[in-house]
Chain A
Amino acid sequence: MLFPPDFLTKLEYLSIMSKRVFRGSLLAQRRTMQMGSGIEFSDHREYATGDDLRYLDWNVYARHGDLLLKRFQEEQDLHVYLMIDCSRSMGVGDPSKFDLARQLAAALAYIALADLDRIAVAAYANDIISEFPVTRGKARILTLMKWLESLSTVGIDTNLSKAVQGLLHRGTRNGLVVVISDLFDPYGFARGFDQLRSRRFEAHVLQLHDPKEADPQLLGDAELEDVENGSIRMVTINERMLRRYKQLFMEHQMSVREYCRTYGLSCTQSPANIPFDDLVMTMMRSAALRS
């Protein structure tokens, strides 16, 4: 069962724990840099024709005769976008990476909703396959969970870049993007994150892998079938090749970490056989340390 009966209890616990960890500085309480109709004064600017006269600073005009318009900092809800990789490679493992990814998505969404943020979830493979529109309020969590349960692994070859493009083309507001994926992307995972950064999205990488992917127990003759694109590779695997595979896998994981460290992205890498709540707690602790 993807969401067991005590799942919501755990989400509530995580929500409380997140408030304690971030001490009230999380998500919705962060001020946006957008000026607007807030109540907190920010600065002045020159009056231009057509400006609302209600915001003209008459006191300044009376003293100095300058027409200055008062600007206020607008308080806006943070938008949290969760991108779940639902390519076929996520279905590998027991428990599968996809199950853990959906549980994580539900947990993060609940924490955000509980903090009065808006969330949106997109399932992607070679493109955005399905999406949960922007919503707010804890009450929406059940709908979200149903939607998550309805997801399945599909697609041919993961393409994060294309999925990000699809997200951006929807006129999405800036916000936090959490990408939950194994990042086995034949087109390269970096392009997608580059696009998010260029659009001033704050990205968070949550990379999952199956323990057997890190340490495969394969020896001898075999046909290796790529679960995503169905390509078959007839190989005879020996110890030397196995060592080389492990080395390449480690290099891939390291390249993800290196990318995130270079561009200040938060990154969490984890095997898929640990409970989702432990992983969320780990994420929160590491985020708290960074802040």
Chain B
Amino acid sequence: MTLGTPLALLLSLIAIPIVIFYILKVRLRRVTVSTNLFWNQIFEEKPPKSLWQNLRYWLSLLAQLLILACLVLAIADPILSWQAKGARRIVLVMDTSASMQADDIDPTRFEAAKRAAERILDGVREQDQVALLAAGKSPEVVLGMGNHVPSLRRALFDLKPVDTPANLEAAIALAKQLIGDSPNGDSSNRQVVVFTDQPQPPIQNPSNDSQPQGSRATATPPASIDVRYQVFGSNASNVGITQFQTRRSLVDAIGYEILVEVHNASDEPIQCRLEIELEQRPVDILPLKLAANETWSRVLEKTSLEGGVLKASLSQFESDAGEDRSSSNKLVVDDVAWAILPARVIQPVMIVSPGNLFLQKVFEANPLVRVTVAKQMPSSWPENTVIVLHKQMPEPLPPNPLFIIDPDTSTSLFQVDGMIDNPLVTEQDKESPLMTHVRLDNVLLPNTKKLIFLTDTAKSVASSVNNEPIFASLMHEDKKAIVLGANLEQSDLAFRTVFPILASNAIAWFSGQSGELSLSISGGEKTTLGSSIALASSSDKDREDLWLVSPSLQVRRQSGRTVGPLKETGVWELVQWEAAPEGESSTGSRSSNRPSVETLRTSGKLLERYTVNLESSSETDLRSPEVTEKASLDSTIASWFSYPPWYYLAILVGLLLVLEWGMYQRRVLA
């Protein structure tokens, strides 16, 4: 046996004053009374003292000395040799996935799992090492290996389930790496305890375990680590939205499509109502009759110019007989889903052309465009209007977004240097939003102007075999501009759908619309900042004016281009907000000033919104296999023989205190 703090044995010197005080106590305090007449009478009535009465003073002293001895020994923290050899390394893997929020177990699966984990912490001994992992979409080390139980308890207490699916395999692999090799080669004391609601996967060869992202490649999972599962769940029924997306229609400028999928993860048919709202205005209400285990999927076509946040929600769960079945829906987080429908903006366009009906009709056919045509150069240029310049170029160029087609003369942006000899498009920027659904490689473009750009911002979108730009984007007085050198009258553009699509892309590009599709992401995934924000930001890493507001109205700074992982379902908002200059000058630490949600919403600029949905059939399906055999955690959880010696010594002290108190009562109060 070794002692953790041998110096504590010095406390045993307290025994000396105890004995002294006891001797002093035996020399009783003297009390002067008027007469002993009554006391004599009392004690003459009493029977003679028994052996116990004579001994109890000494037994009391013995009890006090024993109490002191136990206390001193407990503080000295003895470690028995067999305990030192049996030091354990345990990793608690808490499944924080959305399904753990199900309330089929009182109060929830996750809370029940936390209680079970606390029981293990109760049994943690001095020499044990315990780590805590959160198994969400990606595993996360909440607290590394240590034996400070209060910290572990605190970390466990603070742990909350998130709206993401779980990746238990990666979490277990990470847990195994955390455990590492046992110093004494004993593998029986290394355990990974998984608290989850998922069925226990088949035992895999540890060498084939998948490596979690970010884990060190040098760490090799040990060969034999005991992985134990504690499954929390029941055969609970649930209905959830497993997919919800929207996009703008390709054929209808103001139309959009909604893809919605609902899964009935129960063994019984159920009826419910699917309500879809756009910015809190009802769009559609669908009564659903779902068979057992049925996945219902539908694409709904709707129209809206404005766009906004689409919200789908499930309600009114009933059986076929019309009985209320709300209790069959044990998970709430998948009953609601959101999606962003991009708004359509009417874009004013002025066509300045000597006369080209095709060009005019192409823009007029776009319902999002309001066209005005001018054959002569106007005296003034309307604001917020895209100017389409065909052939004739004004000098100077108007300070508007420009769509220049087949310029006859040079301008301040480019120089017309004759014709391109071989105007076949051989290279086009597929990533450019201008070229979405556009292929120019098989389009004849005779008499295409050869353009030499005079600005550094020019970027070729489509170029000829000689790398001569045919279609290019550039910046003009901080406004966007595109230049197409092709001749509309002599090229095939008039006979193809490519030019209307290109014109539509151009209008969308000018108006800053992010496109037709703003994907909803599933919980725990990441997304990237929109291209417009990336362009506006010269240095993404240094931006300190971007703030992310979670659906639960938590504010955090957004740094870098990657947003997330977003672990909460709902609508996230990216807001640009800059602190007041005086705050910047006074403190110099602007980054520490976290604005409130109200501040962001009143004085900030909303840049983007992201919708996060659970969208996981595995999480929606709460049915856990019946636990036929209780997981054997007896050696891990707290038991009478798993506590350190000081614990038992403390109990012994308590018992001795009770004994001494009883003897005192017998002496004084009985």
Instruction: Mark A residues whose CB is within 8 Å of B.
Output: 89, 92, 182, 184, 186, 210, 213, 216, 218-228, 231-241, 244-245, 248-249, 252
Interface pair A240/B38, CB less than 8 Å apart: no
Interface pair B35/A233, CB less than 8 Å apart: no
Interface pair A240/B33, CB less than 8 Å apart: no
Interface check B36, CB cutoff 8 A: yes
Interface check B670, CB cutoff 8 A: yes
User: Of residues B25, B30, B36, B668, which shows the largest number of chain A Cβ atoms within 10 Å of its Cβ?
Assistant: B36
B669: A residues at CB distance < 8 A: 219, 238-239
A218: B residues at CB distance < 8 A: 31
| A219, A227, A237, A241: the one within 8 Å of B34 (CB) | A227
A213: B residues at CB distance < 8 A: 33-34
CA distance A17 to B535 in the complex (A): 113
A252: B residues at CB distance < 8 A: 37-38
B39: A residues at CB distance < 8 A: 224, 233, 235, 245
B45: A residues at CB distance < 8 A: 244
Encode contact with A along B143-175: 1 for CB under 8 Å, 0 otherwise.
Answer: 000000000000000000000000000000000
CA distance A241 to B43 in the complex (A): 9
B667: A residues at CB distance < 8 A: 220-221, 236, 238
CA distance A220 to B25 in the complex (A): 10
Interface pair B42/A231, CB less than 8 Å apart: no
Q: Taking the nearest CB of chain A, how far is it from the CB of B164, in angstroms?
A: 66
B37: A residues at CB distance < 8 A: 184, 186, 252
Interface pair A224/B36, CB less than 8 Å apart: yes
Interface pair B38/A245, CB less than 8 Å apart: yes
CA distance A231 to B33 in the complex (A): 10
Query: Could you list some 28 contacts between A and B, CB below 8 A?
Result: A89-B34, A92-B32, A182-B34, A184-B34, A213-B33, A213-B34, A216-B33, A219-B668, A220-B667, A221-B25, A221-B28, A221-B29, A221-B667, A222-B31, A224-B33, A226-B33, A226-B35, A227-B33, A227-B34, A227-B35, A233-B36, A233-B40, A235-B43, A238-B667, A238-B668, A239-B670, A240-B670, A248-B41
A233: B residues at CB distance < 8 A: 36, 39-40, 43
CA distance A226 to B33 in the complex (A): 5
B43: A residues at CB distance < 8 A: 233, 235
**Who on chain A is nearest to B666 by CB?**
A238
B25: A residues at CB distance < 8 A: 221
CA distance A182 to B35 in the complex (A): 10
Interface pair A231/B31, CB less than 8 Å apart: no
**Who on chain A is nearest to B665 by CB?**
A238
Interface pair B29/A225, CB less than 8 Å apart: no
B670: A residues at CB distance < 8 A: 238-240
CA distance A269 to B260 in the complex (A): 100
A240: B residues at CB distance < 8 A: 670
Given contacts A233-B43, A235-B39, A235-B43, contact A222 B28 (CB under 8 A): yes
A223: B residues at CB distance < 8 A: 28-31
Interface pair B29/A92, CB less than 8 Å apart: no
Interface pair A225/B33, CB less than 8 Å apart: yes
**Who on chain A is nearest to B40 by CB?**
A233
B40: A residues at CB distance < 8 A: 233
Interface pair B36/A231, CB less than 8 Å apart: yes
CA distance A42 to B651 in the complex (A): 95
CA distance A234 to B40 in the complex (A): 10
Interface pair A225/B38, CB less than 8 Å apart: no
CA distance A233 to B28 in the complex (A): 11
**Who on chain A is nearest to B56 by CB?**
A236
Interface pair B31/A225, CB less than 8 Å apart: yes
Q: Taking the nearest CB of chain A, how far is it from the CB of B32, in angstroms?
A: 5
Interface pair B29/A226, CB less than 8 Å apart: no
Q: 5 new A-B pairs (CB below 8 Å) besides A186-B37, A226-B34, A233-B43?
A: A92-B32, A184-B34, A237-B668, A240-B670, A248-B38
A244: B residues at CB distance < 8 A: 42, 45
Interface residues of B in 10-67 (CB under 8 A from A): 25, 28-43, 45
| A216, A226, A236, A241: the one within 8 Å of B36 (CB) | A226
Q: Taking the nearest CB of chain B, how far is it from the CB of A97, in angstroms?
A: 8
Q: Taking the nearest CB of chain A, how far is it from the CB of B325, in angstroms?
A: 66
Interface pair A210/B36, CB less than 8 Å apart: no
CA distance A108 to B339 in the complex (A): 107
Q: Taking the nearest CB of chain B, how far is it from the CB of A191, in angstroms?
A: 16
CA distance A249 to B39 in the complex (A): 10
A231: B residues at CB distance < 8 A: 36
CA distance A237 to B36 in the complex (A): 13
Interface pair A225/B32, CB less than 8 Å apart: yes
CA distance A291 to B173 in the complex (A): 108
CA distance A237 to B38 in the complex (A): 13
**Who on chain A is nearest to B57 by CB?**
A221
Interface pair A234/B42, CB less than 8 Å apart: no
